[in-house]
Structure 1
Amino acid sequence: MCGRADDNFGPPAWRTLGELFGPLGWEPEVKRDEVCPTDPIRFVRRATGGFDAPYGRWGLVPARMSLDEARRYATFNARVESLEDKPMFRAAFQSQRCVIPLAGFWEWPVRAGVKTRVRISRKDDKPLLVAGLWNRTVTPDGLLESCTIVTRPPTPDLGEVHDRMPALLLTKDIDAWLDAPPYQARTAALSSWQPRILTITPV
């Protein structure tokens, strides 16, 4: 599960994103400590000669579905185990995968009967690179681009935080997620991330 995130990157993250994807203007005009579903969020996809990184609605609007219809569904997360089974995500999983950079994400674990808020990020302040899907649809207001965060079961260090986590990618697995056949992409999303890279900070 990932229902709150932030893109308040610092210089180490900007450098890393530039090295990985090119000089695409990574320092935002507004740094947000909390990004919610339906807010604009940045995603990275293949483009001619490299990558581009537009902002899109966080909450996928599938092909042949209107924005009003999509609002009735929680399409901001997509379970990696069922991407090929869900009509909402099947087409995007085949050919429209992306990477969603995050500075961190938020969860609300319950410990000793008390709900606490925690921020999860990398210990080295580099960006989290999340497997995602994107789509482009036509609305009465024009073209709309949207995306969703792919989720997976948690690594052992996050097991007490939530029963799901974003499908985080190590840099070595970005190409597999973006370009490989679906079964290889799914394997990358399920196995890329390793424990002990993240830090959990109560807020």
Structure 2
Amino acid sequence: MCGRIEFTLTERMQRALRDTLQIDAAWPEHQELRPTEQATFLTHSGTWTVQSGRWGLIPPGMDLQAAKKYATFNARIETVERSKSFKEAFRAGGRCVLPLSAFFEWPNKVKVRIARPDDRPLLAAGLWSQQDSSDGPLVSCTVITRPPTEDLTDVHDRMPALLLTKDLDTWLSAAPSQAKAIAMGSWRPGLLTVTPAS
């Protein structure tokens, strides 16, 4: 599972997003995010849009109180098409991308930080949804997970479905079978470092 993410975009990360995706935004700073907190994600419809929503998808027809009973902060790519919580977002234009500076795990109960050594952002596949509520639009998102690459098998049995820049369009707009394949296979071993975290 991916239960802690870091969103602290360095200047180099922000420059990479400007250069590769033409996104120039005033990015919020979150040292470490936990499920149900506000996460930043990107949607694409001609141009990129920076959005923010509850980390823990609220499925269509469900209100926030009901959603609190379920752990919807991760969606397994293997079952996303069949899941009652996630299948509608996956099929109906609800795919998104979460730019992260790192994510955290606890192998052998020791916290580690997993990030790129070249100080570039991680682009994680995600889903998002927007529900109407009495307090206005309720926006939420989730992180797609997959089995780990070979170099991370000792860290955890799951990892975020990280995407290379060249595969973003396929994740966001291709047919479900193609999107699933790219989420499972875009990322390669050897691109991340694992270091002790406080």
Q: Do these two structures clear the TM 0.5 threshold for a shared fold by scoring above it?
A: yes
Aligned 1:8-87 pairs, distance under 5 A: 8-28=8-28, 31-47=29-45, 49-87=46-84
Give distance in 2, aligned partners of 1:9 and 1:83: 29
One-letter amino acid of the structure 2 residue matched with residue 19 of structure 1: D
More deviation in 7-16 or 175-184? Answer: 7-16
Tell me the equivalent position of 2:2: 2
Tell me the equivalent position of 2:131: 137
Displacement of 1:27: 3.5
- What's the TM-score once normalised by structure 2's chain length? 0.96
Give distance in 1, aligned partners of 2:26 and 2:13: 9
Displacement of 1:132: 0.2
Is residue 18–residue 26 contact of structure 1 (8 Å, CA) maintained in 2? Answer: no
Dislocated runs of 4+, deviation >3 Å? none
Per-residue CA deviations over 1:131-161 (Å, capped at 9, x if unaligned) read 0000000122110111000000000111000
Tell me the equivalent position of 2:161: 167
Give the CA RMSD over aligned residues. 1.0
- What's the TM-score once normalised by structure 1's chain length? 0.94
Per-residue CA deviations over 1:33-64 (Å, capped at 9, x if unaligned) read 211111111111113x4110111110000100
Task: Structure 1: state its 5+ residue gaps.
Answer: none
Match of 1:184 among 178, 184, 189: 178
Matched residue SS, 2:131:
strand
Give distance in 2, aligned partners of 1:51 and 1:23: 7
Is residue 115–residue 192 contact of structure 2 (8 Å, CA) maintained in 1? Answer: yes
One-letter amino acid of the structure 2 residue matched with residue 32 of structure 1: H
More deviation in 147-156 or 8-17? Answer: 8-17
One-letter amino acid of the structure 2 residue matched with residue 56 of structure 1: G
Tell me the equivalent position of 1:93: 90
Match of 1:119 among 110, 113, 117: 113
One-letter amino acid of the structure 2 residue matched with residue 77 of structure 1: N
**% identical aligned pairs:** 49
- The number of equivalent residue pairs is 196
Is residue 23–residue 48 contact of structure 2 (8 Å, CA) maintained in 1? Answer: no
Is residue 24–residue 53 contact of structure 1 (8 Å, CA) maintained in 2? Answer: no
Is residue 57–residue 72 contact of structure 2 (8 Å, CA) maintained in 1? Answer: yes
One-letter amino acid of the structure 1 residue matched with residue 14 of structure 2: W
Is residue 21–residue 48 contact of structure 2 (8 Å, CA) maintained in 1? Answer: yes
Give distance in 2, aligned partners of 1:182 and 1:83: 10
Give distance in 1, aligned partners of 2:48 and 2:114: 27
Per-residue CA deviations over 1:3-58 (Å, capped at 9, x if unaligned) read 00111111111011122333341433xx22211111111111113x4110111110
Matched residue SS, 2:129:
strand
